[in-house]
Amino acid sequence: MLPAIWFIFSRKGCDASVQYLEESKLLDEFEVVEVELALKKFRDQYPDAVRESAVKGLLQGVAAHHAGCLPLWKSFIEELFNRGLVKIVFATETLAAGINMPARTAVIASLSKRSETGRIYLTSNELFQMAGRAGRRGIDEKGHVVLVQTPYDGAEECCKLLFAGVQPLVSQFTASYGMVLNLLAGAKVTRSLKETEETKVTPAGRTLEEARKLVEQSFGNYVGSNVMVAAKEEVTKIQKEIELLTLEVGDDVVDKKCRKQLSAVAYKEIFNLQEDLRAEKRVKTELRQRMGLERLTAVKPLLRELEDGRLPFICLQYMDNEGVQHLFSVVYLGMVDSFAGSKIQDMVRITSYDPVDCFLGR
């Protein structure tokens, strides 16, 4: 599983992890000698850039990489890591962008990190960017990604991030006066002519046309271009059509489509069929109401015959709007003229049949 990059979202956490593994021996004798030689060469060349607190861990094959390290020291760590002389690098999320340091394994210590407003979850782009460090081209057949569970997040949050998809890229390009000056002015180049020992000074800036072409090649210009605007309008149009298709097709939608696409004769025929359908629905509703009254009329005489002090069990069956049949048991208690009287309370009090429902005829 080594070499590995372990992403921790704090400099203090990275340094503490290196100190925790200072006694671990991840390098063999030959690799330790190579690290010592490389460190001696680096110390001779850049004595002030050596991070003395990290030397002990470096000789064991572990190192930290974050914004608290000097750029020269970070470049030195990257070189040793690419040579296989550093087995584990504890780094912040900034290592995932812009630095060529692939590893066999990427470990993500948490799916959330602290911010000014509290703990926030990583975006799917940040997660995929860190996970993309796993796997070295031409060396590893596959990379390994380990997501560490913490008290703040678990498997459910992990699945949401993994299946959220990649977020769209947002351009950070902003035009400013300083950018314009850098594009147009530039530095000056001084050349000495050997024959005359004269010095020639020539401007090295860009012309206005060159600066315009450079800006037009930026991603921000592409996002704001007419091509992107037209593409967004087309996507919006398609989304509206999808929403229209997913909605329940009603009479208004059918009428609107018919007026645009059908002839007058075909539209009139469809209109007549819709009227017939509405009439059939009204007849169906009336028949259901009549059927309910007929059933009630048929049950009432049977209930009157049972008013002999006994509590017979009755099995009722009905069908809901979706066509599903339901079957439940009730107990017949007696006839009442009003639901507000005390007779209901007396009848319910004398029975203890639970969970059987009570049926009151009226």
Q: pLDDT digits over 15-62, tens only?
A: 888 878 777 787 788 888 888 888 888 888 887 877 877 777 888 888
pLDDT of residue 130 exceeding 70: yes
Nearest to 1 by CA among 87, 122, 71, 80: 87
Based on the structure, what is the number of domains in the chain? 4
Do residue 53 and residue 158 come from a single domain? Answer: yes
Q: Is residue 152 part of a domain?
A: yes
For residues 40 and 132, membership in a common domain is answered with yes
Q: What is the mean pLDDT of residues 95-104?
A: 69
pLDDT of 12:
82
Please report whether residue 189 resides in a domain.
yes
Q: Is the pLDDT reported for residue 86 higher than 50?
A: yes
Nearest 10 degrees: CA dihedral of 261, 264, 265, 266?
20
* Domain-located, residue 338: yes
Closest listed residue to residue 362, CA positions, set 340, 331, 335? 335
Taken as a whole, the chain contains a residue count of 362
Dihedral of the alpha carbons of 322, 327, 333, 339, in degrees to the nearest 10: -10
Write out the residue range of the structural domain in which residue 334 sits: 308-361
Q: What is the pLDDT of residue 116?
A: 72
Q: Give 203-229 pLDDT, tens digit per residue.
A: 556 677 777 777 777 777 766 666 667
Q: Judge whether 44 lies within some domain.
A: yes
- Whether residue 89 lies inside any domain: the answer is yes
For residue 250, pLDDT over 60 is answered with: no
Report residue 299 as tokens. 């049950």
Is residue 336 a contact partner of residue 309, using CB atoms and an 8 Å limit? no
Both 108 and 252 in a single domain? no
Q: Is the pLDDT of residue 134 over 50?
A: yes
Torsional sign, CA 224, 230, 233, 239:
negative
Are 91 and 199 contained in the same domain? no
Domain-located, residue 232 = no
So what's the pLDDT on residue 208?
74
Is residue 222 in a domain? Answer: no
What is the pLDDT of the chain when averaged over all its residues? 72
In this structure, are residues 35 and 137 in contact, taking their beta carbons and an 8 Å threshold?
Answer: no
Same domain, 57 and 157: yes
Phi-psi label, residue 323: left if phi above 0, alpha if psi -120 to 50, beta otherwise: left
Look at residue 136 and tell me whether its pLDDT is greater than 70: yes
In the numeric block, which tokens belong to residue 68?
């608290």
Question: Rounded to an integer, what distance in angstroms lies between the CA atom of residue 100 and that of residue 38?
Answer: 20
User: Is residue 147 assigned to a domain?
Assistant: yes
Q: What is the mean pLDDT of residues 264-283?
A: 83
Residues 202 and 299 in one domain: no
Higher confidence at residue 36 or residue 313?
36
- pLDDT for the residue numbered 358: 44
The pTM score is: 0.47
